[in-house]
């Protein structure tokens, strides 16, 4: 446990986790299709009740062995009570999984974000402030088209766990801050729909219009970042400007 916690980081060894409250949930792993009773440490107890958070910490970033960084709002963890599972149906798991009670909570099974929240191979938990991390990363520059705003929402729900943008997100996939410099919207959709995790593995393909929205958001980010990286134009000297005009007006 690290990040916005006082006195941290704290180890997440087997003994430390076993000393915390344990619980079970009944849920369906959306990736494997396995329905099971998942057993392990109550995640709310781990990230909320047993550590002292610094002011403003409101999101848990779950870091996995394959370098994903999955943001989960702390309010949802308290409400839905997932577990950091090390057993399923009484059998040990090869790696820890964030398991959710999809059979007991209506709407959770169909929430597109829930596929991302089933984190596998958990190696660290990090508390953070959502605004200073993901809020800034997903902010849409002024003047961007409406599609970019919808794209920011989609990127946050489906992409940011694996891809970085503006220094936030996972590293399982490439940084997408400058993607639109090298890829069209149609090419992005073609890449997404051919077995791309997080996009085409859901119950339905969001479609080309959704891909164009994501591309529009990334295009706005690239344009804004590119403009901000350019040096400001030098301020002109009014005296020198007057001399230049006088010289140019001579016959």
- Of 74, 105, 129, which residue constitutes the final position of a domain? 129
Kindly tell me the burial class for residue 75, based on how many C-beta atoms sit within 10 Å of its own C-beta (0-12, 13-18, 19 or more). Answer: exposed
Q: Which helix (H) or strand (E) holds 63?
A: strand 59-64
Task: Please tell me whether residues 164 and 103 are part of one structural domain.
Answer: no
**In CATH, what number is assigned to the domain containing residue 61?**
3.90.420.10
Report the distance separating Cα 136 and Cα 59, nearest Å.
Answer: 14
Report the distance separating Cα 189 and Cα 195, nearest Å.
Answer: 11
Residues 6+ away with beta carbon under 8 Å from 202: 112, 115
Q: CA 204, 31, 100, 51 torsion: positive or negative?
A: negative
**N- to C-terminal Cα distance for the chain?**
77
Answer yes or no: is 240 within a domain. Answer: no
Q: Greater confidence, 217 or 55? A: 217
Task: Please tell me whether residues 37 and 56 are part of one structural domain.
Answer: yes
Q: CA 230, 234, 235, 241 torsion: positive or negative?
A: negative
Q: What is the pLDDT of residue 25?
A: 96
Q: Greater confidence, 83 or 46? A: 83
Task: Please tell me whether residues 122 and 164 are part of one structural domain.
Answer: no
Cβ–Cβ < 8 Å for 161, 118: no
b or e along 156-191 (b: 16 or more beta carbons within 10 Å of the residue's beta carbon)? bbbbbbbbbbbebbbebbeebbebbeeeebeebbee
Q: How many domains does the chain have?
A: 2
Residue 216 has pLDDT above 90, yes or no: yes
Q: Mean per-residue pLDDT for 209-222?
A: 91
Q: Give the range of the structural domain holding residue 203, as residue numbers without chain letter.
A: 139-226
Assigned token pair, 151: 């794209």
- Of 111, 129, 147, which residue constitutes the final position of a domain? 129
Confidence of residue 49 (pLDDT cuts 50, 70, 90): low
Assigned token pair, 222: 């690239």
Residue 234 has pLDDT above 60, yes or no: no
pLDDT in tens, 133-178: 888 899 998 888 889 999 999 898 888 999 999 889 999 988 988 8
pLDDT in tens, 78-88: 999 999 999 99
Give the helix, strand, coil percentages of the chain, each rounded to 5.
35, 25, 40
Q: Greater confidence, 213 or 17? A: 213
Task: Please tell me whether residues 125 and 144 are part of one structural domain.
Answer: no
């Amino acid at each position: 446990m690290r990040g916005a916690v006082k006195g941290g980081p704290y180890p997440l060894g087997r003994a430390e986790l076993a000393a915390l409250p344990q619980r079970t949930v009944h849920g369906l792993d959306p990736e494997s299709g396995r329905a099971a009773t998942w057993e392990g440490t109550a995640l709310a107890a781990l990230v909320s009740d047993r550590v002292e958070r610094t002011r403003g910490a409101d999101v848990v970033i779950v870091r996995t062995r394959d370098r994903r960084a999955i943001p989960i709002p702390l309010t949802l963890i308290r409400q839905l009570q997932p577990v950091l599972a090390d057993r399923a149906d009484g059998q040990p798991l090869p790696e820890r999984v964030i398991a959710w009670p999809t059979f007991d909570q209506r709407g959770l099974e169909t929430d597109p974000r829930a596929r991302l929240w089933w984190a596998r191979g958990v190696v660290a938990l990090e508390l953070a402030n959502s605004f200073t991390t993901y809020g800034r990363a997903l902010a849409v520059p002024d003047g961007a088209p409406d599609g970019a705003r919808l794209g920011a929402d989609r990127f946050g729900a489906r992409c940011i766990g694996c891809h970085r943008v503006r220094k936030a997100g996972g590293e399982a996939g490439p940084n997408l801050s400058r993607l639109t410099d090298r890829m069209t919207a149609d090419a992005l959709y073609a890449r997404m729909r051919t077995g791309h995790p997080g996009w085409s593995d859901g119950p339905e393909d969001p479609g080309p219009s959704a891909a164009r929205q994501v591309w529009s958001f990334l295009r706005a980010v690239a344009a804004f970042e590119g403009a901000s990286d350019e040096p400001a134009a030098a301020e002109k000297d009014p005296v020198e400007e007057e001399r230049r005009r006088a010289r140019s007006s001579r016959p």
